[in-house]
Amino acid sequence: MNEEMDLIIKNGTIITASESYKADIAVKNGKIAMISENVNVKGERVVDAAGKLVLPGAIDTHVHFELPVGETVSADNYESGTRAAACGGTTMIIDFATQEKGMGLVETVHDRFKHIEPKACVDYSFHIAITDLTDKILDEFKTSAEFGIPSFKLYMVYENMMVDDGAIADALERSKETGVLIAVHAENPYLISRRIKKLLSQGKTSAWYHYESRPEFVEVDAVRRMVYLAKSLKAPLYIVHLASREGLDEIIKARDEGLEIYAETCPHYLNFTNEVYKREDGRNFICSPAIKGEDSRKALWEGLRRGYISTVATDHCPFKSYEKDWGKDDFTKTPNGCMGVENMYPYMLSEANKGQISFNKVVEVCSENVAKIFGCSPQKGTIAVGSDADIVIYDPKKKFIISKENMHSEVDYTIWENCEMTGYPIMTFSRGRLVYEEGSFRGEPGWGRFVKCYR
Ligand code: URP
Ligand code: ZN
Ligand code: ZN
């Protein structure tokens, strides 16, 4: 091949979910054009990756940018959120388009396009969060899947968003006929509301009581029921942000029975325990499900290692500190959600570097499995000829201490403050274009494109 390439990455060690090997990569028109021991062609830009790892960009399948919550909206908009993603080695995000009651599914996504198109710095897709599951909406599952959005989230909690078990069962039944995937936020709302009422009446209002209002069994009960429904209806199911050991036990049993049940967990459940709610800044960690005890934290790592947890995603949904402060004297007034879109890949890779898990496993759960489950593989999620050149160059020797000053989102604090990373991404390419280099954002709003997904 004599044609000049746009980008050549030389001498690096390529890591995919299944392999680690030394090779060069050549990129043309946003796609990986060649992979070989020595790509002997000219390149407009040549990067020497000797001593570095070359990985597919992460795909964060769970973010909430510009999410309206009560009187406010989550702190990162599509520009700052995707900018932070790029700076953390995430080259595609899947956001939640929340259906306004009465609105159609594809209509809901079109509404979000208006916000995201001019702002996205990396590629994107959506899941639709269905809040009003009418017969008309069930009839739209197929249309949405044909449009390129084959995944829907149903909330068992949150006023105005929650749906009941009957609706979830209907959605599961229709999902298997149409090939879409139902994702569930699994917590028992009746347990939570009664516990909150009791705690507040006893004057128990600090952040710790957020955990007490949503202890392990609140999640476990809901996961158990959802798995049972999916099994009974012979439908696939995806449990978002799994946080508890016993919830994981349900997933293990189901997967061992051969059911198509997927579990996702998040970096904050892998790194922190409920002890954070005793801190002075405990309210900054308020999210749902609440962060659980050490027993759960350890079990989630084990679940990843053994392949029972299929994906890691961030549930990135931060609020500014003045908004978190609304709950200083009453934990129920703090908007729920934490940040993570810039931290997921560096954190997971750092844990791999320390021996907690393999680098291949990190690529599997943060990128390849996501692309496979949600239907954008092999365009995304791997390093292969013909795939998008979404590539991260990672320096395993670089030390990095996270602080709000070196993050790229709009939030004025980070729950990851002072966490030390062993190794860090030094370059991110989105379809061959440099979007991050050594601490600085190098991309541009409007670069990111909608990725159609087909399961
Ligand atoms: O606390 C959280 N997780 N907020 C975001 C919405 C959700 O439940 O995923
Ligand atoms: Zn949720
Ligand atoms: Zn979420």
CA–centroid distance, residue 315 to ligand 3 (Å): 4
Please write down the HEC assignment for all residues of 277-332.
Answer: HHCCCHHHHCCCCCCCCHHHHHHHHHHHHCCCCCEECCCECCCCHHHHHHHCCCHH
| Amino acid occupying residue 444 | E
pLDDT value at position 442?
98
Q: Is 163 in the pocket of ligand 1 (CB under 6 A)?
A: no
Task: Flag whether 194 is in a domain.
Answer: yes
CATH number of the domain that 316 lies in?
3.20.20.140
Beta strands in 358-445 (DSSP E): 391-401, 420-430, 433-437, 440-441
- pLDDT category at 231 given cuts 50, 70, 90 is very high
Q: Is 187 in the pocket of ligand 1 (CB under 6 A)?
A: no
Q: Is 183 in the pocket of ligand 1 (CB under 6 A)?
A: no
Assign 387 to helix, strand or coil.
Answer: coil
- pLDDT category at 1 given cuts 50, 70, 90 is low
**Nearest to 92, CA basis, from 47, 126, 134:** 126
Q: Across residues 436-450, what is the average pLDDT?
A: 98
pLDDT value at position 294?
98
- pLDDT category at 277 given cuts 50, 70, 90 is very high
Peptide bond between residue 267 and the one before it cis (omega within 30 degrees of 0): no
Task: Flag whether 447 is in a domain.
Answer: no
Q: Is 337 in the pocket of ligand 1 (CB under 6 A)?
A: yes
* Whole-structure pTM value: 0.98
How many distinct structural domains can be found in the chain? 1
CA–centroid distance, residue 62 to ligand 2 (Å): 9
Average pLDDT of the residues of the chain: 98
pLDDT digits (tens, 9 = 90+) for 377-420: 999 999 999 999 999 999 999 999 999 999 999 999 999 999 99
Residue by residue, DSSP assigns 145-214 as HHHT--EEEEESSSTTTB--HHHHHHHHHHHHHHT-EEEEE---HHHHHHHHHHHHHTT--STHHHHHHS
Distances (CA, A) of 65 to 55, 229, 265, 341, 371: 25, 31, 19, 10, 20
pLDDT at 132 over 90: yes
Ligand 1 atom closest to the Cα of residue 96 is: 9
- Ligand 1: which residue has its CA nearest to atom 4? 337
> Crossing angle, helix 245-256 and helix 294-305, to 10 degrees?
30
Ligand 1 atom closest to the Cα of residue 157 is: 8
pLDDT digits (tens, 9 = 90+) for 139-195: 999 999 999 999 999 999 999 999 999 999 999 999 999 999 999 999 999 999 999
Task: Flag whether 6 is in a domain.
Answer: no
Task: Flag whether 196 is in a domain.
Answer: yes
Task: Flag whether 300 is in a domain.
Answer: yes
Alpha helices in 234-285 (DSSP H): 245-256, 267-271
Q: Across residues 278-307, what is the average pLDDT?
A: 98
CA–centroid distance, residue 317 to ligand 1 (Å): 7
CB-CB contact of 262 with 184 (8 Å): no
Task: Flag whether 19 is in a domain.
Answer: no
User: CA–CA separation, 287 vs 274, rounded Å?
Assistant: 11
**Nearest to 24, CA basis, from 47, 2, 57, 6:** 47
CB-CB contact of 324 with 411 (8 Å): no
Q: What are the structure tokens assigned to 196, written together?
A: 């909150």
pLDDT at 106 over 70: yes
Q: Which domain holds residue 63?
A: 58-374
pLDDT value at position 146?
98
Ligand 1 atom closest to the Cα of residue 158 is: 8
pLDDT digits (tens, 9 = 90+) for 345-372: 999 999 999 999 999 999 999 999 999 9
Task: Flag whether 442 is in a domain.
Answer: no
Out of 218, 239, 317, mutate this one to test ligand 1's pocket (max ligand atoms within 8 Å of CB): namely 317
pLDDT at 445 over 80: yes
pLDDT value at position 136?
97
Ligand 1 atom closest to the Cα of residue 62 is: 9
pLDDT value at position 216?
98
- Ligand 1: which residue has its CA nearest to atom 9? 315
CB-CB contact of 200 with 192 (8 Å): no
Cα dihedral sign for 363, 368, 369, 371?
positive
Q: Is 288 in the pocket of ligand 1 (CB under 6 A)?
A: yes
Residue percentage of the chain with pLDDT more than 70? 100
- Ligand 1: which residue has its CA nearest to atom 6? 337
Task: Flag whether 258 is in a domain.
Answer: yes
User: CA–CA separation, 268 vs 287, rounded Å?
Assistant: 10
pLDDT at 2 over 90: no
CB-CB contact of 81 with 341 (8 Å): yes
